[in-house]
């Protein structure tokens, strides 16, 4: 074999190496993948922003066995407005409009009116918004962990709840803080109890609830408890009540599809994060609430809840 017949392996190896270092097909694939994940990420973020404002009206009928009443009536249950830079007044206004369109007989709000501090101008605007509700339907409330107190003061909120309390007073929303009040809804007497929040360390059930086994007469009105955090049920396990309404969880805010896994729900008991539950013979209803933290929700739309009590 002469020199001219020997293939130039050195040259072809160099060419192969050059191709390996900068193979255009790999580079194109990588750029496509990067672009694809960017588009998917942006799409997911956009959807989660959209879902955070996508209100849903949810209706439940309270079982007569656990909640016997003589007159039928309809409760509007709202919670966790969280007015902040992430939650506009328009969302709360829309929730109020949707709720009032259901013609409720009474409205209960279970706390977290704010996320952190608001300016005086914002509180003025908030009064206008809430008045649209309280001027139409009798409205009662309890406070949440964000509304002021020990927990809020240690994060980014008010050390006391006096700002929110003043706003509620001026909008004629009756605040029940460890207080019991008998109200009449379409002629049905109800013993309404509002508990202070457990994270604020202001939950004192002995002040407003009787203990179980104290020979309840059938004539006594059913007891409804407003309590921000459903974990408070363990504080009132030995007390006499029939229905507890809660918020706080935002339904988990971002929920893993199909398995209902709620890793972000700020509660100890993840079996009661949203919806109606029979707990030791008593009813607990947890609404997903209207607002949110951080402006995002996934598989967990904000909720306006309607609870129907049917006469026996």
Alpha helices in 120-213 (DSSP H): 120-134, 150-154, 162-170
Q: Per-residue b/e over 146-178, b at no fewer than 16 CB within 10 Å?
A: bbbbebbeeeebbeebebbbebbeebebbbbbb
Is 51 or 112 the residue whose CB approaches Fe ion more closely?
112
Shortest Å distance, C-beta 261 to Fe ion: 20
Is 177 or 229 the residue whose CB approaches Fe ion more closely?
229
Shortest Å distance, C-beta 144 to Fe ion: 6
Shortest Å distance, C-beta 17 to Fe ion: 60
Task: Find the part of the chain contacting Fe ion (CB under 5 A) among 77-85, 96-104, 263-271, 274-282.
Answer: 77-85
Selected binder of Fe ion within 51, 80, 231, 274 (CB under 5 A) = 80
Is 69 or 152 the residue whose CB approaches Fe ion more closely?
152
Is residue 186 within 8 A of residue 73, CB to CB? The reply is yes
CA dist 288 and 281 (Å) reads 23
Residue 26's φ and ψ, nearest 5 degrees, are -65, -40
Nearest CA-CA partner of 227 in 79, 16, 46, 105: 79
Shortest Å distance, C-beta 250 to Fe ion: 6
Could you tell me whether strands 139-142 and 106-110 are parallel, antiparallel, or unpaired per DSSP bridges? parallel
Is 68 or 153 the residue whose CB approaches Fe ion more closely?
153
Shortest Å distance, C-beta 265 to Fe ion: 11
Task: Find the part of the chain contacting Fe ion (CB under 5 A) among 9-17, 37-45, 86-94, 112-120.
Answer: 112-120
Is 222 or 252 the residue whose CB approaches Fe ion more closely?
252
Residues binding Fe ion: what is the number (CB under 5 A)?
A: 2
Residues 139-158 that bind Fe ion (CB under 5 A): none
Shortest Å distance, C-beta 177 to Fe ion: 17
Q: Where would I find the beta strands (DSSP E) of the chain?
A: 56-62, 73-78, 106-110, 139-142, 174-175, 179-185, 188-194, 223-226, 243-246, 275-279, 282-286, 303-309
Task: Find the part of the chain contacting Fe ion (CB under 5 A) among 26-34, 73-81, 193-201, 279-287.
Answer: 73-81
Shortest Å distance, C-beta 293 to Fe ion: 7
Residue 283's φ and ψ, nearest 5 degrees, are -100, 135
Tell me, rounded to whole angstroms, the distance of Cα 116 from its chain centroid: 16
Could you tell me whether strands 73-78 and 303-309 are parallel, antiparallel, or unpaired per DSSP bridges? antiparallel
Is residue 80 within 8 A of residue 250, CB to CB? The reply is yes
Is 99 or 222 the residue whose CB approaches Fe ion more closely?
99
Is 233 or 288 the residue whose CB approaches Fe ion more closely?
288
Which residue lies nearest Fe ion, judged by its C-beta? 112
Does 197 help bind Fe ion (rule: CB under 5 A)? no
Is 134 or 229 the residue whose CB approaches Fe ion more closely?
229
Does 112 help bind Fe ion (rule: CB under 5 A)? yes
Shortest Å distance, C-beta 288 to Fe ion: 10
Residues in the site for Fe ion, rule: CB under 5 A?
80, 112
């Amino acid at each position: 074999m002469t020199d001219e017949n020997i293939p130039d392996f050195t040259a072809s190896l160099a060419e192969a190496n050059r191709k390996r270092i900068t193979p255009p097909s790999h580079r194109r694939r990588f750029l496509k993948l990067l672009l694809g994940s960017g588009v998917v990420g942006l799409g997911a973020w956009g959807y989660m922003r959209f879902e955070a404002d996508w209100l849903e009206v949810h209706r439940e009928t309270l079982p007569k066995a656990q909640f016997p009443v003589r007159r039928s009536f309809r409760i509007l249950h709202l919670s966790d407005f969280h007015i902040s830079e992430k939650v506009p007044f328009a969302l709360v206004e829309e929730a109020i409009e949707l709720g009032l369109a259901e013609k409720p007989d009474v409205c209960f709000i279970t706390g977290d009116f704010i996320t952190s501090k608001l300016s005086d101008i914002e509180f003025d605007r908030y009064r206008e918004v809430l008045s649209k509700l309280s001027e139409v339907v009798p409205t009662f409330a309890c406070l949440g962990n964000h509304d002021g107190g020990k927990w809020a003061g240690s994060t980014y909120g008010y050390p006391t709840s006096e700002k929110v309390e003043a706003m509620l007073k001026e909008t004629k929303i009756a605040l029940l803080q460890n207080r019991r009040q008998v109200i009449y809804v379409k002629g049905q007497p109800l013993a309404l109890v509002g508990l202070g929040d457990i994270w604020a360390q202001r939950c004192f059930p002995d002040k407003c609830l009787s203990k179980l086994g104290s020979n309840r007469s059938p004539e006594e009105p059913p007891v409804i408890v407003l309590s921000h955090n459903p974990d408070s049920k363990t504080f009132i396990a030995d007390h006499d009540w029939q229905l507890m309404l809660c918020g706080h969880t935002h339904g988990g805010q971002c929920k893993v599809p199909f398995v209902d896994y709620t890793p972000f729900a700020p509660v100890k008991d993840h079996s009661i994060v949203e919806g109606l539950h029979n707990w030791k013979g008593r009813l607990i209803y947890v609404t997903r609430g209207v607002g949110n933290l951080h402006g995002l929700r996934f598989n967990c739309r904000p909720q306006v809840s309607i609870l129907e009590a049917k006469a026996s």
